[in-house]
């Protein structure tokens, strides 16, 4: 499948998800009346309820970590959130930067931008903005942001080198990124890797962890640190949609794993 086709699939599915609640996302990837897939989009997500600035209306359960916990965001910083969705991480970041800082969210799904702006307007924030754009070609200026965060989004970007190159471009010198993302260890079964619905569900878009880190290193980021990693347990009933019983056993016992990691690096 071509990169542009994959982007359209992700954009379509997340456009549908934007109009759902977290509860519906837990039971169906595209709504209770849809049969597009059986992926639970929230199986990766962490609990945000104790975070300063948390807004339940903005939490669709689409993350795989809490990157703001490790991002060393300071009062007055200008923070960029890639794949900002309904604004969950942006509002948490806004609590950290305070009135003197600024938060920008970038998303290429119009429905998500609309929902994020609705949430922002309810909160009355004037130092949070949401911009429509593609992470591989950000419509944003060079050397602008103190911190870039992202939560379970870059794995959905077809060209991760382009994505991290753009992160490097928009960061100020000495600025840093902190992203939570999905990676794999070992060989993911081909059926799982190629399935577009699982791709939109944050599994097949993942690449090998070593390859992921190599992309970051090759772009000359410094102080690369993995702050947290956890193995993702994919329910057997989900795996059964793609693998035979024998393949499921081999998958579980073969050393292959799907992990969420939170990693940072400095420009």
What pLDDT, on the 0 to 100 scale, is given for residue 41?
63
What pLDDT, on the 0 to 100 scale, is given for residue 122?
96
Q: Could you list the pLDDT tens digit for every one of the 267 residues in the chain? A: 677 766 776 667 766 666 665 555 555 444 333 444 555 666 678 999 999 999 999 998 888 999 999 999 999 999 999 999 999 999 999 999 999 999 999 999 999 999 999 999 999 999 999 999 999 999 999 999 999 999 999 988 989 999 999 999 999 999 999 999 989 888 777 777 665 445 445 565 788 999 999 999 999 999 999 999 988 777 777 778 878 888 888 877 877 778 889 999 999
What pLDDT, on the 0 to 100 scale, is given for residue 222?
98
Count other Cβ atoms within 10 Å, centred on residue 249. Answer: 11
What pLDDT, on the 0 to 100 scale, is given for residue 34?
42
What pLDDT, on the 0 to 100 scale, is given for residue 24?
52
What pLDDT, on the 0 to 100 scale, is given for residue 206?
82
Question: What CATH code is carried by the domain that includes residue 227?
Answer: 3.40.50.150
Question: What's the whole-model pTM score?
Answer: 0.85
Which residue segment(s) compose the domain that 193 sits in? 3-266
What pLDDT, on the 0 to 100 scale, is given for residue 205?
76
- What's the number of domains the chain is made of? 1
What pLDDT, on the 0 to 100 scale, is given for residue 267?
98
What pLDDT, on the 0 to 100 scale, is given for residue 190?
73
């Amino acid at each position: 499948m071509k990169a542009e086709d994959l982007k359209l699939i992700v954009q379509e599915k997340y456009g549908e998800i934007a109009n759902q609640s977290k509860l519906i996302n837990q039971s169906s990837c595209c709504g209770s009346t849809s049969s597009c897939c059986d992926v639970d989009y929230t199986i990766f997500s962490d609990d945000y309820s104790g975070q300063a600035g948390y807004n339940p209306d903005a939490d669709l359960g689409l993350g795989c970590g809490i990157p703001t916990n490790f991002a060393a965001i300071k009062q007055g910083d200008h923070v960029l959130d890639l794949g900002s969705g309904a604004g969950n991480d942006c509002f948490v970041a806004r609590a950290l930067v305070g009135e003197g800082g600024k938060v920008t969210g970038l998303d290429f799904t119009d429905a998500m931008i609309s929902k994020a702006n609705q949430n922002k307007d309810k909160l009355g924030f004037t130092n949070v903005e949401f911009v429509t754009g593609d992470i591989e070609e950000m419509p944003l200026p060079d050397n602008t942001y103190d911190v870039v965060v992202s939560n379970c989004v870059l794995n959905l970007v077809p060209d991760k080198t382009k994505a991290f190159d753009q992160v490097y471009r928009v960061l100020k010198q000495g600025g840093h990124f902190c992203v939570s993302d999905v990676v794999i260890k070992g060989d993911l079964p081909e059926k799982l890797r190629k399935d577009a619905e699982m791709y939109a569900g944050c599994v097949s878009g993942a690449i090998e962890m070593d390859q992921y880190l190599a992309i970051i290193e090759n772009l000359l980021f410094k102080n690369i640190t993995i702050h947290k990693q956890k193995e993702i347990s994919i329910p057997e009933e989900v795996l059964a949609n793609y693998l035979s019983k024998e393949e499921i056993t081999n998958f579980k016992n073969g050393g292959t794993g799907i992990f969420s990691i939170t990693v940072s690096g400095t420009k």
